[in-house]
Structure 1
Amino acid sequence: MNTTPTSIRALHIAAAATLFCASLAARAGEVEVLHYWTSGGEAKAAAALKATLQAKGHSWKDFAVAGGGGDSAMTVLKSRVVSGNAPAAAQIKGPSIQEWGAEGVLANLDDVAKANNWDALLPKVVSDVMKYKGNYVAVPVNVHRVNWLWASPAALKKANAKMPTNWDEFFVTAEALKKAGLIAVAHGGQNWQDFTTFESVALGVGGADFYRKALVQLDPGSVKSPTMLKVLTTFKKVKDYTDKNASGRDWNLATAMVIRGESGMQLKGDWAKGEFIAAGKVPGKDFLCAAAPG
């Protein structure tokens, strides 16, 4: 995990961190929480937060919105805010914090942050995302790394294939899985899933400097470079090994395909581990995980 350059990991933290933002709409003792943690593994995480809140003497009012990697939840949140009926707390991805802060709907959490020494405890790359104009308005509940490769040992054994470490090996394994009658790559064809997979390919094929210039700095030369063409070609080849029913599939359903041994591999962030664990699977025995090729 530490092989990913700090600046690249920072981007993933900012882009993938899941946050709670507080509004002023809660009644004392009751906290309505709008979130999109609805898969098996995510539900366990939400339950842990709920238990912590209840231990403090508060009541958790659950408002779960499934689908779209949070897009559906954000549509509902916008509607609630516009109608003047905002929840007390909402799960929001890192980059959106600034947008909500600009709307003036986030509560100032500086007193809580100071009392709990957040500035000292949180890495600056995380605390900066939690702040709007220098004030804390959110608290991180998780930080993700996107570029992981998950695999089914049973599927690999059936295909007489090995866990790949580079893109050449990845496609050799994918072809072997396909010939064995399995779905080589489990994928959900939703915009956010396509992009996180593209991120993994871009970093693995182009390297950290290319990734930073092309996807962070949006450097025109990098975007139009032969390296980008190779990234796009590799990405298309990965998609060619997904199944015809991938379009619109939720990420956790794709992970379930690997869990059941129907598919050999999945490129997905570290949140996928929660699904394997929730299904009672044992790391290294029932499922494998390694950095995405590159």
Structure 2
Amino acid sequence: MKTMMKLLLAGVAFAGFFAAAHAEDKPTIEMMSSWTSGGEAAALNVIKTEFEKRGGVWEDSSIAGFGAADAAFQNRIVAGDAPGAKQGVIGLAAADFVSQGLFNPIDDVAAAGKWAGVLPKSITDLISYDGKVYLAPTGAHGESWVFYSKEAVSKAGIAEEPKSWDEFFADLDKLKAAGIVPVAWGGQPWQQTKVFNMILLSQVGIDGFLKIYVDKDKSEASVDGVKKTLEILGKLRGYVDAGAAGRNWNDATAMLITAKAGVQFMGDWAKGEFTVAGKEPGKDYGCMIAPESKGMVYIADSLWFPKTGNAGTDKAQKLLAEVVMDPAVQVEFALKKGAVPMRTDVDKSKLDICARKGAELMAAGAIVPDQAIVLTPQQVGALDDYVDEYWSGGSNDAASAAANFFAIFE
């Protein structure tokens, strides 16, 4: 009996050892992201589910707020304890890590998947450095959107979308008169900068926008465009509620979902919150490009793959890169997050009316890059501070503020 018991215990121990060893053989990834809102979490879960279906082990490391997540990531890098993957935007911030030799290339995965043939050239260029691919694109977002509550605008007697800023402000007056908060304002610097940018694009056009952010053009036309932008931005102060300061973007979206507010300036990721709440575009809420704008500001998300010194993690990174660029994953991710798929060969029939508008603008080339793509992280921070100081300071001296705008590039 004792012998049988020993054999049984030995068998249990061996089974446990075998299971542990088998688990260790599975490609394991620690995923660090700031995607914590309802829509973002649902989108990330699309990637997680497919990764696990293909035999991967997923370890979540989500931190609310991309500023906090970026700071935590940098601390982990400095400590020599990098996560296996990090969600981040395509742009100079990623390029800085690549130039320091801190990221693993995934060009073998990109070559096998023929990414160059299914991605816009501008995106291929942005995920590649010195001939090697380092980033896996997840989706693109338009940032020139004005979302509005169908219920709220109906109560205010607004029948159609405004075509000019004058018409837009007239509609805000109608919302205010109806006892509805006109603008659900996200009072955080990065959100305010995005509003500044969508207004700027409406005032200077695509070429003018690129001259300012890419060429750092200081001509009279550029300065005048900034001045007009600040005038419109300043006028919006009269249409936000007392609780706007510090408000998270998804909390502002919730104000539209409950018809407590009329409109919100936000990137199309806001659609993810509407989706989670069971709201449909065109029925419960509307989406329009900022008044007078002939194009759209865009930002592109991607996954970064830090060097960890672990061969198993390297294997998991390549599997995750394959998953992210899977056509079906690209579409399902976009639907959940409110994004536009990066791949140009996916079935767009599933996209909502807002996403199709964004896809049309991207296909037509009527797009300009978010500042995070073309500016250094330091310059991005300076721009956020500049806009926040103007907004929060309550100044109406747009001319003087415009004259100081280009100091952010120094």
**Fold shared per TM-score above 0.5:** yes
- 1:130 & 1:222 partners in 2: Cα distance? 35
Superposition deviation, residue 237 in structure 1 = 1.1
Say yes or no: does 1:153 pair with 2:130: no
| Selected match of 1:209 from 207, 210, 214 | 207
SS in 2 for 1:66: coil
**Alpha-carbon offset, residue 223 of structure 1:** 7.0
Q: Could you tell me which residue of structure 2 aligns to residue 8 of structure 1?
A: none
Amino acid at match of 1:161: I
| Distance (Å, rounded) in 2 between the aligned partners of 1:29 and 1:230 | 53
Counterpart Cα distance in 2 of 1:266 and 1:222: 31
Q: Secondary structure at the match of 1:220?
A: coil
Cα distance in structure 1, aligned partners of 2:210 and 2:256: 31
1:6-64 C-alpha deviation (Å, 9 max, x unpaired): xxxxxxxxxxxxxxxxxxxx985210000011111111101000011101100110000
Q: 1:222 to 1:94 in 2, by over 3 A?
A: farther
Partners of 1:190 and 1:133 lie apart in 2 by 36
Choose from 258, 261, 270 the match for 1:260.
258
Q: Is the 8 A contact 2:184 2:256 kept in 1?
A: yes
**Corresponding residue of 2:299:** none
In the other structure, the counterpart of 1:88 is: 84
Q: Which residue of 1 aligns with 2:101?
A: 104
SS in 2 for 1:144: strand
After superposition, where does 1:213-232 map in structure 2 within 5 Å?
Answer: 213-222=211-220, 225-232=223-230
Equivalent residues of 1:222, 1:228 under 8 A apart: no
Change over 3 Å in CA distance of 1:217–1:244 after alignment to 2: farther
Secondary structure, counterpart of 2:269 in structure 1:
helix
Give the length in aligned residue pairs.
Answer: 267
AA aligned opposite 1:263: A
Task: Tell me the SS of whatever aligns to 2:263.
Answer: strand
Counterpart code for 2:140: V
Cα distance in 2 between the residues matched to 1:220 and 1:205: 15
Please identify the structure whose Cα radius of gyration is greater: 2
Q: 36-45 or 219-228, which moves further after superposition? A: 219-228
CA distance 1:36–1:77, change in 2 (3 Å): same
The change in CA–CA distance for 1:27 and 1:102 in structure 2 (over 3 A counts) is farther
Give deviations 1:229-256, integer Å, cap 9, x for gaps: 1111011112331222212111111111
SS in 2 for 1:270: coil
Question: For 1:121, which of 109, 118, 128 is the aligned residue?
Answer: 118
Which protein has the bigger helix share? 2
Deviation of residue 209 (structure 1)? 2.6
When the two chains are superposed, the root-mean-square deviation of aligned CA atoms in Å is: 1.6
Aligned to 2:70: 74
Return the alpha-carbon distance in structure 2 between the equivalents of residues 228 and 271 of structure 1.
Answer: 26
Unaligned runs of at least 5 residues, structure 1: 1-25
Instruction: Select which of 157, 160, 164 maps to 2:162.
Output: 164
Q: Per-residue CA shift, 1:102-154, capped at 9, x if unaligned? A: 22110011111111111111111111111122211110011111101100011
Following the alignment from structure 2 to structure 1, what is the Cα–Cα distance between the partners of residues 195 and 246?
15
* TM-score under structure 1 length normalisation: 0.87
- Determine if contact 2:141/2:268 at 8 Å carries over to the other structure: yes
| Distance in 2 between residues matched to 1:76 and 1:225, nearest whole Å | 37
Tell me, which stretches of 5 or more residues in structure 2 are unaligned?
1-23, 293-410
Trace 1:3-82 onto structure 2 (pairs within 5 A): 29-67=27-65, 70-82=66-78
Q: Identity of counterpart residues, as a percentage? A: 38
Query: Alpha carbons of 1:192 and 1:270: their partners in 2 closer, same or farther (altered >3 Å)?
Result: same
In structure 2, C-alpha distance between the alignment counterparts of 1:124 and 1:224, rounded to whole Å: 28
Assess, with a 3 A threshold, how the Cα gap between structure 1 residues 125 and 224 changes in structure 2: closer, same or farther.
Answer: closer
Task: Report the residue type matching 1:259 in the other structure.
Answer: I
Deviates more, 1:53-62 or 1:212-221: 212-221
Higher relative contact order (CA 8 A, sep 6+): 2
When structure 1 is superposed on structure 2, of 178-187 and 238-247 the one drifting more is 238-247
Task: Using the TM superposition, name which of 231-240 and 221-230 deviates more.
Answer: 221-230
Asked if 2 retains the 8 angstrom alpha-carbon contact of 1:201 and 1:234, the reply is yes
Paired amino acid for 2:231: T
